[in-house]
Structure 1
Amino acid sequence: ATFFNKVKTISGVEKKLIHFPFFLVLIGGFFSSIFARIIGKQPDLSYGMVRLMGIEQYYSSAKAVKELQMPQTPTDKAIEDCLNWFRANNIKL
């Protein structure tokens, strides 16, 4: 939730964050996948996507910084750049 709170603060868009128990989201993804298969469209949130969201994943940029001399952009700056791109391309926040 920390990332989403940062986005909320930087964007200035007041949206309430709603927390759902994982098992409810998993059930929703399951039924969304079934319904999408019936109507022949891609689900907005599939069972597989929800399962992946349930896996704690952490990444480090240390190797890219060390071996490729990649610059590391601070999170707040990256979020701000992303939001500016959305606004410049008329994508609703």
Structure 2
Amino acid sequence: MEELRGRRLVSDVADDAEQLKTRLDIFLSQLKVASPDASRMSKELVRLGWAHAEDEKQVDGIQGLFDEMMHPDADGAHGVKEFQVGRKVDWDAFTLRTSRSKL
């Protein structure tokens, strides 16, 4: 297990079902502070790593997600701007504003 951690192939491992539940709850609460698209993009990155490890589809997929994330009106760009001016990101306000602009 330590070799996998050392190679950064896994970040955490639970020893039993109760520990898994606790760690999962912590992980899910951390996702709540992420941008609306962060969860979807994280899942896509895992899928790319699993299904297309070290091939061109993985490289293209990662580049596409990065480009999408950093588009001027995207979640990632908004989060970076807020961080740069020293504000905590209010993802609820961002989501409301972007959903209203789409109407």
Q: Same fold (TM over 0.5)?
A: no
Higher relative contact order, structure no. (Cα contacts within 8 Å, ≥ 6 residues apart): 1
1 or 2, which has the higher helix percentage?
2
Taking structure 1 as the reference length, the TM-score comes to 0.30
Taking structure 2 as the reference length, the TM-score comes to 0.28
Q: Find the structure with the greater CA-based Rg.
A: 1
